[in-house]
Amino acid sequence: MRIQSHPILEAPTGREVTFTFDGQTLTGRKGEMVSSALFANGIRTFSIHKAEDAPQGIFCADGQCAQCTVVIDGVPVKSCVTPLREGMEIQTLVHDPELPADDEWRPSYRPEELSCQVLIVGGGPSGITAALELAGLGVSVILVDDKDRLGGKLVLQTHKFFGSMADCYAGTRGTDIARILEEEARSHENITTLTNATAAAIFSDKKAGVYINQEKYIHIAFEALMVSTGARERSLVFPGNDLPGVFGAGAFQTLVNRDLVKSSNRVLIVGCGNVGLIAAYHALQAGISVVGIIDIASEVTGYKVHADKIKRMGVPIYLNHTILGVTGDGKVEKATIAQVDEDWNPIAETAKTFAVDTVLIAVGLSSADEFFKLGEQGGFPVMKAGDAEEIAEASSAMIGGRVAGRKMAQTLGVETTIPAEWLEKAEILKSPPGQTFARSHSLPEGDGWEPIIHCYQEIPCNPCTTVCPYDSIQLRGETGTIMDLPYFSGKCIGCGQCLLICPGLAITLVRRSKNEGYAEVMLPHEYNHRFEAGEEVPLRDQDGSSLTVGKVLRTRFSKKHRTHVITVEVPEELAVNVAGILVQAEGVTEPLPEANLTFLPDNAIVCRCERISLGEIKEFIKENRVNDLNQLKIPRVAMGACGGKTCLDLLPRVLVEAGVDRDKIRPAVIRPLAVEVPMKAIANQGGEDR
């Protein structure tokens, strides 16, 4: 199913093509990923595992795992990185794929070789800004990225960014930042950009093997390597975690925001960091219901303004809760959660079961820094930037990339400096939320407008202070940085620029109404609507509590900011508390009458590729006194198609749970190739150039 109307995004264009799936003729857009075309046609099961005939669906939609493998024209491939073309014959992968019957001898050819001073692997925000710094200093750069466009996860972000307007485009939507950065990189003569190009291996002789357009294998010789490969989403162990419909928040954003495919109807989100909070925001924009966000933590770990925004849209946040399990007949149909005690043990009587078709996992990221480790082993200059170095916001990655670019230039002998303020800004932009403060609001005297700023927590953000034509919004000055809270003091003409640019939708404008006892409130609204003058709409306060109904006076749309401004009339004593309009009906979030308590945690799958459960791994560890992750390959843990990218991050915790001292755990050996590359590509037996 396609998203036909979106408040921020325009539907992607592309010629319609036909293909078959298990013999059924379907249609999709030429060039879109096969996984997206299948989802658009209502297909969620991509393969049937040989263990228990278990159905498999997507998890990362980023080429990192192997959950989306299908058979295309007789060859098993990852559907999330395979473009759709006319006439494809796609089949469900059932058990192990068959090797094609082919004994024809073919010659091999030496790969084409490119060269540069610095090879940058990963064209996200840090990779691009590092490339721009290096190129500006006269260093030749080749920038390699496995997607069809640069920008990394920025391409998936429809919300306005926090941070500094001067340093990282704060107040601008991620999709727009990606376009700005890509245009700048492609226009620079010292930067050679290779998209649809996957770095498959880094060799100790200062060469990289790169797989281009899933067709040609080349070598890139370099003097130094910059690793800005981002991060991969962490999995989570619970019964039913391998059912089609359990996937990462990044995969959800890829389907919904990149490809405008309505991947779900009702979702439960696990994780209340910024990723989980933003996923809820994106779901609502796509017309997808969100029954709730859960987190085992006692406080929201993301920005409070994000959480407040989501709560007033109608999404509850369950803190001190865990997911007990997911059930369904070959797909996600129900999810059960429960509150935990002080030792994080589920409290059975608090269990709730929701009817959902999707569970989004947003429990953190793991740096994809394997190439950096290989570079260290190779003994050549290597650095990392962005999430590959430290998990943080994209705003931090942008300035961090600039710093890394300068450091790399210095390593190569280029005379340059790193401004001290860059380092200071980098630290500020990756700061976690600071203190939360109470603040009071009052209705302005007279009949003029005044902003009400529902921003209560120290976060790195300053767009509202930069757009006021009278400089009437200033930071408080407690920390002396953009972590300070903004306050209004001065003149307001009701232009609404602060309201439109605020990433947290945390600013409203109020004034006394001509009707005695009432006030007018301007509200930002980033959802499709059909509000008309005179209509009554449900209003929420900044904490998400039901407040009152307001009468719509007028609406307008800012094309520049792609944000609606809804002006409502409310009783004047409530005006300063009005923070937003309820987006989804309250009944959407109600649990089922009875909770499901039949879960056995040891049945949860840890190694998704080989379907090895938590209990099986713990038993093997105890019986064999295992403390080396490589020993778990004996029962085939981490030996599947994803190369351990998903389960290796979980295994240390499993060993600790089985009684192994964490300090004595030996890490696993990294696979020599990061992705699957056909032998014919390495031998250059096909493709346009030989």
Q: Could you give the CA distance from residue 468 to residue 465 in angstroms, rounded to a whole number?
A: 6
**CATH number for the domain harbouring residue 143:** 3.50.50.60
Per-residue pLDDT tens over the stretch 341-353: 888 888 878 899 9
Would residue 635 count as lying in a domain?
yes
- Residues 242 and 353 grouped into a single domain: yes
Work out whether strand 382-384 and strand 197-203 pair parallel, antiparallel, or are unpaired.
unpaired
Residue 654 lies in a domain: yes
| Sequence-distant (≥ 6) Cβ neighbours of residue 570 within 8 angstroms | 518, 519, 521, 539, 548, 550, 551, 578
Please check whether residues 133 and 210 belong to one and the same domain.
yes
| Gap between the Cα atoms of 151 and 181, Å rounded | 7
* Token pair recorded at residue 464: 């509202």
List pLDDT tens digits, range 589-645: 999 998 887 765 787 778 888 989 888 999 999 999 999 999 999 999 999 888 888
Q: Which of 327, 361, 395 is the last residue of a domain?
A: 361
Residue 180: phi, psi to the nearest 5? -60, -50
**Any idea which of 144-158, 255-269, 386-400, 585-599 has the lowest mean pLDDT?**
585-599
At position 327, the amino acid (one-letter code) is: T
Residue pLDDT, tens place only, 40-73? 999 999 999 999 999 999 999 999 888 999 999 9
pLDDT in tens, 540-556: 999 999 999 999 999 99
- Is 484 contained in some domain? yes
Q: What pLDDT is recorded for position 507? A: 98
Short-list 171, 195, 189, CA closest to 123: 195
Q: Are residues 227 and 253 in the same domain?
A: no
Does residue 443 form part of some domain?
Answer: no
Which residue shows structure tokens 């014919």? Answer: 680
The secondary structure element, H or E, covering residue 37 is helix 34-40
Only one residue has tokens 């609406």, namely 555
DSSP secondary structure, 607-634, as one string: ETTTTEEHHHHHHHHHHHT--BGGGGGT
What CA–CA distance (Å, rounded) separates 60 from 353?
25
Flag whether 90 is in a domain. yes
Q: What percent of the chain has pLDDT over 90?
A: 82
**Residue 687 placed within a domain:** no
Alpha carbons 318 and 343: distance in angstroms, whole number = 17
Q: Over 70: is that where the pLDDT of 223 sits?
A: yes
Is residue 245's pLDDT more than 80? yes
Judgement on whether residues 200 and 311 belong to the same structural domain of the protein? no
**Total count of domains within the chain:** 4
Task: Give me the chain's average pLDDT, please.
Answer: 93
Q: Is the pLDDT of residue 327 over 50?
A: yes
Secondary structure letter of residue 234 according to DSSP: -
Q: Which two tokens stand for residue 483?
A: 């972590």
Cα gap 430→187, rounded to integer Å: 29
Task: Note whether 212 and 302 are same-domain residues.
Answer: no
Question: Alpha carbon 558 to chain centroid distance?
Answer: 26
Identify whether residues 214 and 257 lie together within a single domain. Answer: no
Closest CA to 246 of 153, 331, 366, 317: 331
Contact 208, 198 (CB under 8 A): no
| Nearest 10 degrees: Cα torsion 646, 647, 653, 655 | -160
Integer Cα distance of 1 and 652 in angstroms: 39
Report the distance separating Cα 572 and Cα 246, nearest Å. 46
* Domain hosting residue 184, numbered range: 113-231+367-429
Is the confidence at residue 578, as pLDDT, over 80?
A: yes
Instruction: Give yes or no: residues 345 and 401 share one domain.
Output: no
Q: Is 657 domain-assigned? A: yes
CB of 239 closer than 8 Å to CB of 603: yes
Q: Which residue has the higher pLDDT, 107 or 673?
A: 107
Residue with tokens 């791994």, as numbered in its chain: 617
669 close to 256: Cβ distance less than 8 angstroms: no
Amino acid at 254: T
The residue ranges of DSSP E strands in 375-506, in sequence order, are 382-384, 450-453, 473-475, 486-488
Tell me if 103 is assigned to some domain.
Answer: no
- Pair 482, 420 in one domain: no
Same domain, residue pair 460 and 575: yes
Measure the CA–CA gap between 265 and 229, rounded to whole angstroms.
32
Q: Tens digits of per-residue pLDDT, 262-299?
A: 999 999 999 999 999 999 999 999 999 999 999 999 99
pLDDT digits (tens, 9 = 90+) for 500-533: 999 999 999 999 999 999 999 999 999 999 999 9
Is residue 145 located within the same domain as residue 214? yes
CB of 511 within 8 A of CB of 493? Answer: no
Question: Per-residue pLDDT averaged across 96-112, rounded?
Answer: 83
Domain-ending residue, one of 583, 618, 647:
583
For residue 436, the one-letter residue type is T
C-alpha 566/C-alpha 579 separation (Å) is 12
Q: With b meaning 16 or more CB within 10 Å and e meaning fewer, what string describes 597-635? A: eebeeeebbbbbbbbbbbebbbebbeeeebbebebbeeb
pLDDT band at 357 (very low <50, low <70, confident <90, very high): very high
586: buried, middle or exposed (CB in 10 Å: 19+, 13-18, 0-12)? exposed
Residues 308 and 456 in one domain: no
Q: Which pLDDT score is estimated for 160?
A: 95
Q: Do 178 and 141 share a structural domain?
A: yes
Phi (first) and psi of residue 585, to 5 degrees:
-65, 150
Residue 689 has pLDDT above 70, yes or no: no
Whether the full predicted model's pTM is greater than 0.85, yes or no, is yes
Half-sphere exposure of 424 (CA within 13 A, CB side): 8
